[in-house]
Structure 1
Amino acid sequence: MKTRYAALLLGALTLAAALPCVSQAAASDTYPSRPLTMIIPFPPGGTADGFARAVGQELGKRLGQPVVVENKPGANGNIGSASVAHMPADGYTLLYGSLSTLAVNPYIYPVKGYDPRTDFVPVTITHQMANVLVVGEQTPFHNVAELIKYAKAHPGKLSFASAGIGNTMHLAAEQFLAATGTKMVHVPYKGGAAAINDMLGGRIPLMFDNLPAIVQLVKAGKLRALAVADSKRSPLLPNVPTMEEAGVPHFTNVVWVGFVMRKGTDPKIVHKLSTEIRAVLANPKFRKIQEDQGYQIIGSTPEQFAQTWKAASKEMGELTKRIGIRVN
């Protein structure tokens, strides 16, 4: 994946050493006067779900109101996301979105009357995470070169899992096939957890998955990591090469995730929530817990998020067209 928006993310990685000052007048004196709802358009138990719930718990403490989490998975996050697009823009609903739901889905899961690029406003990118090429311990592959050699000798014999059609795990695999001139069969699952379970059971040989989802399984010897799709090695898996080091040049696949709200939400509320969420992310204890799991904390402003989102949408449009992925 080309990363023309990477520089925008890196600019936010400092986590705003000085968080923007927002006066008490930045939002209504009574806001929030009731619980907030956080919609997670992914199944429970995944990497995004765990991170979002942790943020929601701490955010509730800061706001003095609970943040109620609802999982609404389906259609690569489109079902839950589209539901938020039709909710009131009253400032009480946060949507947890990702590169795939906000920048990829419009090209492969078109929904009449809904477009995340125009129906939502950015709040903050909470983190990013690299995808990792992992294989089951029962497979004979110990490095990327062995995998490529086998795949070229047996086109179409190997299959790879993903969390769903158009998910970044799927796109990473398709990029890998295009970059290496190999052919494999895609097996989409309803969420990454189900795919991992089948890998552990020996029913599927390989997949790309987010680092936080597989790092402990790799350390425990239950999965084998062949390469990290990032520009540098992960400190959590220091012995695992980058994809470029493994022989696939110019190959990265890093996913950003963050919060958005319904278009039309009071900008003062958007900025208040952005500031509060970034304060949660900046907390040293919270940050360390998450980074130890493989999350790269960002904490962007709404304006930084908007720039990253715009650049990513353009890039994903070009990528999905080149790969030829579309679900009607």
Structure 2
Amino acid sequence: MMVLSGCQNAFGYINAKWIHEINLTYHQLDQQPEQQAALVEPEPISDAALIKTVAEAMNKSKRLQGELDYAPDFTMKLVYGDGYTEEYALGLGKEKGHNGLLVASVNSGKGYSIPAKHADKLRDMIYGAVSTDGEQPAAKSVQAAVVVTGPVTLSRNELFPLTGREEYLNLRLLQGQYNEDWATLGPLWGRHWSGTFELVVTDAEDKVLSTFPLSRHFQEDLEFGDFFQLEFGDYNGDGDPDFTIGQYGSSNGYIFKLFSLGENHVIRELPIQPTGEMFISSPERYSVKLDQVDKSSFKTTYYDNSVGQELHTLYQWNGTEFQRVDP
């Protein structure tokens, strides 16, 4: 499969609510064409979580330039509410951490690269919902989602050891969905909350002292798979507690942003150049304590598949932002 850089997809925005169901036909690469044709008609999949994941993957895909050389795992047919259908060739593979490929059947010369994060979600959900043996569809591992319409606290952190005040910094889901999947290994295994999140500082009587719209600082919908504690440090030497919040990046690590709690309970994002975020390989998924080098710098570690080893990145505070320092 060729993975080349390119421009944004030409699908336009795909709203998951438009899609009524998805039909997936698995292709075994070692079968002859006549054997493939003999496969039973695929079972329609109408699971809302899977449809949402497919729509997100299509919206995040990028157009590939150049001649395509690929062998798809699936033929995917989208069935819209008005009966209109679209068919695509979908290439995923089972190995995580790699981009996927989407090709429209009406124009097989145009391919679109699905980012690894979204391709991994599709792998987890699709391989749990579709048979890959050409016989019976496998049992669906994705459970129906529960709509969340009130605050749910996923991280409650005592601030007294940091500020000397009996206060708490909480991360909570304001509105979204909750579902469980105990059959599919990967980032969606177990409990799973998604939707709109905020950070809230409260006193000992749970009075709100300040709020921070966390979801606005991430380009994609926030998702968390467990309760967790924030990891604190003072990385720029200003005396204020700083903390990281991460999201799934690939099988090799998570993508983290850095925030700080200042005077009057004001929370702000600390700028990180050049991308605004850090890719870190760590057993901690949603908040990691950074490896501090001195009062105004830290380093991160990530595993690079291309060289087969861990690499380090140094960040230094220049008074207004953290700047990545190349070796």
Q: TM-score range by the shorter chain?
A: under 0.3
**More strand per residue: 1 or 2?**
2
| Higher RCO (C-alpha under 8 Å, 6+ residues apart) | 1
TM-score for both structures, normalised by structure 2? 0.24
Higher gyration radius (CA):
2
**More helix per residue: 1 or 2?**
1
TM-score for both structures, normalised by structure 1? 0.24
